[in-house]
A and B are shown apart, each in its own frame.
Chain A
C-alpha cells in the first residue's frame, strides 16, 4: 500500500473546521466516491474536527490518498495535543458527552467509515484515524 498524495490542514478555528470539511469533500469528489460516501466522509470529518477544536484545543487534519490496487482509500488523521481521553470505550458510546453535545460524534463517525482507530491518553492528546475505501 502506498500513499499517492497527502496534505495537512490546520484546525484552530471554526472557519478552519469548515475549510477542512470542504477539502475532504473536494478530494472525495476527485476520487469519485459516490455521493453517499462523500457525505459520510465529510460528516465524519466534521465531527472529528470539531472534537479536536472543542476538546483538544485545536490541532490538525492529515489527508492521504491510499493506493491498494485496484482500490483507493481516503485516510484522515485528526490530531491534537489536548487533555486526551481517560476512558476511550466510554467516549465512543452513543450518548456519552462531557460537553453539551449529544455524544454522537465518535460513535457516529466510526459507523460512517470503513476503518476507525483512536489513540488517546490523559495528557498525551488524541489521534483519530479513519479510512474509507472505494
Chain B
C-alpha cells in the first residue's frame, strides 16, 4: 500500500502531506508516525499541510490523534502551513483540533519545536543548584 513518507531530521520527524489522502492512507500515517516516534525517540513531529486543499472531520481527527499519541510518547506535534481558506472552513465545520499546535510555516514550526525541546530539557535537568544559578537571569548584567 501507498504510504506518506516520514523524514527524520535530528530529533524531529517531518511529514509533508502532498496528496489528497483517502482515509486509509491517513490512518496509515497515524500508525507509522506513532511507531516511528517510539522507535527513534523523536521529541517533535512537524506536519506540513500547506498542499492540503481541505481538512474535513476525518483528517481533523487524525491530526488530533497524532498530537495526543505523540504527547504520550513525549514528543510535541506542530501542524504548519494551513491555507487560510482551509482554516475558515474548519471553523465553520465546527472542528477545533483539540491539542493540536499550529504554526504559520515550516520555519516557525521548527522554532516552536526547538523552543519546547529546550524547555523540556531544562525541566529534565532541573534540581542541580548550580544550574539554577546559571539561569537566574543576572548573567551579563553586572
Residues of chain A at the chain B interface (Cβ within 8 Å): 14-15, 17-18, 21-22, 25, 35-36, 38-40, 42-43, 46-47, 50, 94, 101-102, 104-105, 107-109, 111-112
Contacts and interface: CB of A to CB of B under 8 A. Distances in A.
Interface of B: 20-24, 53-58, 60-61, 83, 85-86, 88-89, 92-95
Contact of A112 (B55, B58, B92): B92
A25 B85 CA distance: 14
A112 B22 CA distance: 21
A17 B23 CA distance: 9
Contact of B94 (A15, A50, A101, A111): A111
B89 A43 contact: yes
B93 A111 contact: yes
Contacts of B58: 46, 50, 101
A104 B83 CA distance: 21
B90 to A, nearest CB: 8
20 contacts: A21-B54, A22-B20, A35-B85, A36-B85, A36-B88, A39-B85, A42-B54, A43-B55, A43-B89, A46-B58, A50-B58, A94-B94, A101-B57, A101-B58, A102-B61, A104-B94, A104-B95, A108-B92, A111-B92, A112-B92
Contacts of A18: 20-22
